[in-house]
Structure formats: C-alpha cells, structure tokens
Amino acid sequence: MEIHGFQTVKNLPCLYHPELDLLVISDLHLGLEATMTSKGNYVPRHQLDNLLDDIRSGRKETEASRVLVNGDLKNEYKTSYSETREIEKLFKFLKEEFEETVIIKGNHDTFIDSTAEKHGLTVKDFHNESGILFIHGDRALENFEVGEFKTLVIGHEHPALALKDDIGVREKVDCFLYGKTLEDENFIVLPAFSHISNGTSINEVPERQLLSPILKNRVSKDTLKAVAVSREAGILEFPELGKI
C-alpha cells in the first residue's frame, strides 16, 4: 500500500520510496540479544542473520539501489566487542548490496562514527532530500537546522498496536503510523526493524508518556492512522488511533 509517497514492502517493517529509489529501515538494535541475556532472559543470537535476510528480501522486492537506516542500528550505549563485530558485518553487507547507504544517528548509536568511516560511510544527524526529512526522533526538531520539508519520517518510538480478540486474547503487533503534523506536514513513524525489540502500545499509551518529543509535541496522536505489519501475517490497515 501507499503511505505519503512511500510503499510498504511485502510483510516487512520497512518502506520504499520509488522516486528516491530508497529503502528505509529503522531501529535494528544490533546486540539486543546480549543485553537481554545479561538480564537473565536468554535469547539465541540469530537476529543479525535474520535482519540481513530481511534487508536482502526488501532489496530484491523493490530493486532498490539505496538504503537509509533511520537510527538505532545498535543497542548498547557502551559498544561491546561482539556488538562492534555485528556493526562491521552490517556495514559490509550494506556496502555490497546497495550503491548508496545513508546512516542516521539514533540515541543508541554511540561510538559508530569511526567504524562507519572504515567502510566509507558517514553518520548524519538527519537527511533531507526532495522535501522529505528523515530523522531518528529522539530529539525535537528545534535542535537541528533541517531546512524546509513537506514530509517527516521518524523512528525511535517502536510503534505497535495492542489488540484483543473476542475471547480476550491480547497480542501486540508492530505498525506504521501516518497522518499530518499540527503544521500540516506529512508524517510517518516507522516500526522497529528488529525482530525482538519491544514496541510502544501506541493505542494505549497516553501522549505524555510517548518517547519521541516530535510525536508528543508536533502531532495529535489520535488523528494518526495505523498500518499493522507482521512478518507472519502481512499488512493490515486500521483507522485513526482515536477510533481503535
């Protein structure tokens, strides 16, 4: 389906912009398995291989020559040796698969600049192209000189829908959010590309408890529409959050 000039890509939590020939992903959180295991919740370390398979699938589906990672490609604020190896593998993969890779810095992306430079990549605070502004979303736009834009794309929030069936069984499914900002810009929130990160139950959490200052202050949350995305079940459209 189409979302403000972008297209959904099969059953993957990413978007493709045909005019920019750009595949867009966000919030990979490499190294999250190690973090969860250190807290007593053992998780096998398969996420990176699964993510690379998904990115490769998205590239083949769209034939994209460019990719943009919209922040939080890693998880730990202090980068471990194993996490650095995963980042190296990701950068090498992206350089081999795509003609151009754009990396936006997220709040978790400490100490990645030198690793990116080794692979000929630059880490940016934001990317503004053809009136489309890509920024992670952990800080207010007023902190940056972003220039003019018509469409704003963020990550950071990990939006998900908390759903309950007729017999009371609850499930949480990742989702895209889209609509308009209070200043009438097109607005998109990307779900986490990670297989194992927790999502914000966006239809249940009050605006004051949202993570992104952009989502809290620049948008009326209940006016946004949701598109659920599941690697197993596919794509499902929902009405405005205020009606769910």
pLDDT in tens, 150-182: 999 999 999 999 987 666 667 899 999 999 999
Reported pTM: 0.93
Q: Got the DSSP string for 177-200?
A: EEEE-TTS-EEEEPPP--SS---E
122: exposed, middle or buried (Cβ count in 10 Å: 0-12, 13-18, 19+) = exposed
Average pLDDT on 177-194 reads 98
pLDDT in tens, 73-110: 997 756 665 788 899 999 999 999 999 999 999 998 99
pLDDT of residue 169: 62
Which residue's entry shows tokens 């190294």? Answer: 31
**CATH architecture label of 2-243:** 4-Layer Sandwich (3.60)
pLDDT in tens, 37-81: 455 554 445 678 999 999 999 999 999 999 999 999 997 756 665
Distance CA 136, CA 107 (A): 8
pLDDT of residue 43: 47
Residue of 27, 43, 30, 26 lying closest to 81 (CA atoms): 30
Distance CA 175, CA 183 (A): 23
